Amino acid sequence: MKRSLLGLAAAAACLALSACGSASGAGNPKGLEKPVLNVGVVPVPDSAPLAIAQQKGFFKDEGLTVRTRPIKASPEATPLLLNGSMDLALLNYVSTFTAQDKGAVSFRLVADSYQGANGSFALLTGKDSDVRGLAGLKGRKVAVPALKSITDLLLAVQLKSAGLDPAKDVTVVPVPLPNMGAALKQGTVDAVAAVEPFVTDIQAAQGGHLLADLVTGPTEEFPISGWGGTAKFAERNPKTVAAFQRAIAKALKVAADRDEVTRVIPTYTQIPAATAGKISLGAYPPDLDAAKLQKVAALMKEYGYLQNAPDVRKMIVAPPK
């Protein structure tokens, strides 16, 4: 756990997700435009549905061969999606809406994957901290994994709900997730906004104190990430996208069983099985919810992430009937 789970070796993920297999020589009986898909996967709990779909043969049933490529975060996928070396990827909604707002790319969302839940994102202080409640962070320094990230946004919303001005009352600094525990221990920050499995790790290793849940109240059931690609790819490959959607839909139903998720997580991440069984997981929604995603975009505009909030309905590829 001291190493970043984002540093997962490509070869290990390739084997775990059957990413290195070649396309079947049996032809393309289902008439898919692109029966071999290159998909970007972030080795975090969010990606569990794709791993489930691979291991249970849901893609194979649809005539698809899915080759995965580990990426550290969804922004890394954008240039690969644009140049065609990657077809689809796990996209976190905050960075996706940001890129679309900048005109960098026109995205299409084809399936949901992960939604925040109580405990999956949390604000922690050191075990000897004198901070009491969110209001006690006024004038303090808080670490986030990256500025203008999902975690930064969740923190800002919770600070405002506690009566603080996120831009003036708290100093937010970027600290890599694997370094947050040390930052707390050394006192370089007063609190850290972390995500699982780092929340559990910091609490166990550093005696971190839970100051606040970041997915509650105004951020309850906050959408985190889904599967998507460019508008160009979706428009040119409708049968392929529909096949991918059907396979992921089956996997999302399986992911409703926590045991299935905790079993698969260690196969493509550096999260040990014992830790996977303890962490607070988010949810795996069965469908893309335009209203919830629009709320994300609205919050991003409110907190200065976007110039213009996108009409999320236009970004969603309707699931096959």
Q: What is the pLDDT of residue 137?
A: 96
Helices (H), the chain: 10-16, 48-55, 58-61, 78-83, 93-101, 150-161, 180-186, 198-206, 231-236, 238-254, 258-268, 273-276, 290-302
Give the number of domains in the chain.
Answer: 2
- Pair of tokens at residue 243: 């096949």
User: What is the domain extent for residue 46?
Assistant: 5-115+221-315
Q: What is the pLDDT of residue 17?
A: 52
* Domain endpoint, select from 203, 219, 235: 219
Task: Give the H/E segment covering residue 195.
Answer: strand 191-195
* Domain endpoint, select from 219, 234, 252: 219
Q: What is the pLDDT of residue 9?
A: 38
* Domain endpoint, select from 202, 219, 236: 219
Do the domain assignments include residue 320?
Answer: no
Exposure of 101 by Cβ count < 10 A (0-12 exposed, 13-18 middle, 19+ buried)?
Answer: middle
Do 12 and 111 belong together in one domain?
Answer: yes
Do 35 and 83 belong together in one domain?
Answer: yes
- Pair of tokens at residue 108: 């299409």
Do the domain assignments include residue 321?
Answer: no
| 199: CB partners within 8 A, 6+ apart | 119, 120, 121, 122, 124, 208, 279, 280
Q: What is the CATH number of the domain that holds 215?
A: 3.40.190.10
Do 17 and 110 belong together in one domain?
Answer: yes
Q: What is the pLDDT of residue 12?
A: 40
Do 238 and 311 belong together in one domain?
Answer: yes
Q: What is the pLDDT of residue 249?
A: 98
Q: Which residues of the chain have pLDDT under 70?
A: 1-27
Q: What is the pLDDT of residue 134?
A: 95
